[in-house]
Amino acid sequence: MPTDTMTVPLALPAAAAPPKRRSGFAWLTPALALLALFFVLPVLSLLLRSVTEPQFGLQHYAELIGTWTYAKVLYNTLLVATIVTVVTVVLGFPVAWLMAIVPGRWSRFLMGCLLLSMWTNLLVRTYAWMVLLQRTGFINQTLMKWGLIDEPLALVNNLTGVTIGMSYIMLPFLVLPLHATIKSLDPAILRAAATCGASRWQAFWLVLWPLALPGVASGALMVFVMSLGYFVTPALLGGASHMMLAELIAQLVQSLLNWGLAGAASLVLLCITLGLYALQLKLFPAKGGQHAA
């Protein structure tokens, strides 16, 4: 048998790693300096002001929790974040499921719609809802035309408007990772469930839902955390009497010049945010909370 003795099979390692430089830390310094000067320092300084201005002490925190106006803001924020999370999961799960199982053309179309929405400027999208939800807006007009209501509903400048707008913005953030999770599941597992005798209902609750849950939970956590700290949409759709935490911080700084209280509110927001991230990392140690197939 003729053998080509010149072709020695190369044992190629997968993507050779570079030799470790002796340090390379020097290259990191510009970016580190930037972040230290214009990120860490300012934020720490702000947080520090919460306990140093106008005097030492935790008065601002007492004020936040004690004063009804401020406590209500905290409550509103948590309430809206919760409702938005629930709405996005309820709407988003079927969409993610659909996207994972329909043929490629439809799946790409759905993905395109999600991406177009997600990449359109935030202000543009919020503005659209401001117009749609106003008293003389399209939604109220149509509902009245169809005789479903006599008076226009107050859909904007309150928490309802904020919830609708935020759900709109947050939906793609839940659907995209959840769709990836569901797509990574082997359809044969659901066929096996059917053969074992499970009805569609049973197969859903006993097999599909538990396997999709990591994707749902990590998406929901991300939506909740983002909703907590969101500024633009709640400010535009909520109105002054239905403030959320981010807008409170902004107003304390711009109108009231109360830096101490703003710092305190910021610290509260940061603590909740970081706490939830820590929770996510604990529950889903894999990167990004991906379901390990």
Partner 1 sequence: MLLDHDRLGLPLRLSLATIGAVVVLFLLAPIVFIALLSFGSSPWLIFPPPGWTLQWYREMWADPGWLEAMWHSTRVALVVTALSVGLGFITALALVRGSFKGRALLRGFFITPMVLPVVVLAVALYALCLKVGLTGTFTGFVIGHLVIALPFSVITLTNALEGYDFALEEAAMICGATPWQVKWRVTLPALRLSLFAAGVFSFLVSWDEVVVSIFMATPGMETLPVRIWSALRQDLSPVIAAVSTVLIGITLLFMLIAALFKKDDDHGH
Partner 2 sequence: MATDLNPSDPPFLSIRGLRKTYGQSVAIDGVSLDIREGEFMTFLGPSGSGKSTTLYITAGFQDPTEGTVQLAGKSLLNVPPNQRNIGMVFQRYTLFPHLSVAENVAFPLRVRGWDKTQTAERVKAMLKLVHLDQHGDRKPSQLSGGQQQRVAIARALAYNPPVLLMDEPLSALDKQLREEIQFELKRIHHDTGITILYVTHDQEEALRLSDRIAVFNQGRIEQVGTGAELYEHPATRFVAGFIGHSNFLPVKLEKRRGDVADIVLPDGRRLEGAPLRCDAANGSDASLMLRPDRLHLLHDAGTDTPSIPVRVTDLSYLGDTMQVHLATNWHQDIDIRLPLRPGATPDWQVGSMGHLAWVSAHSQVHAAA
Q: Give contact residues for partner 2 (rule: CB under 8 A).
A: 186, 188-189, 191-200, 202-203, 206-207, 210-211, 293
37 vs 192, beta carbon nearer partner 2: 192
Q: Pick one of partner 1, partner 2, none as the site partner of residue 202 (Cβ within 5 to 8 A by kind).
A: partner 2
139 vs 217, beta carbon nearer partner 1: 139
212 vs 243, beta carbon nearer partner 2: 212
Q: Which residues contact 175 (CB under 8 A, 6 or more apart)?
A: 92, 95, 96, 99, 114, 219
Site string for partner 1, 253-282 (x = CB under 8 A): xx----x--x---x--xx--x---x-----
Site string for partner 1, 86-125 (x = CB under 8 A): -----x--xx-xx-xxxx-----xx-xxxxxx-xxxxxxx
* Residue 75 interacts with partner 1 (CB under 8 A): yes or no: no
Question: Could you tell me how far CA 226 lies from the centroid of its own chain?
Answer: 4
CB of 170 within 8 A of CB of 227? yes
Between helices 59-66 and 41-52, what is the axis angle to 10°?
80
Q: Which two tokens stand for residue 3?
A: 């053998």
Q: Footprint of partner 1 on residues 135-194 (CB under 8 A)?
A: 136-138, 141, 168, 171-172, 182, 185, 187, 189-191, 193-194
Question: Could you tell me how far CA 1 lies from the centroid of its own chain?
Answer: 64
- How far apart, in whole angstroms, are the C-alpha atoms of residue 259 and residue 265? 10
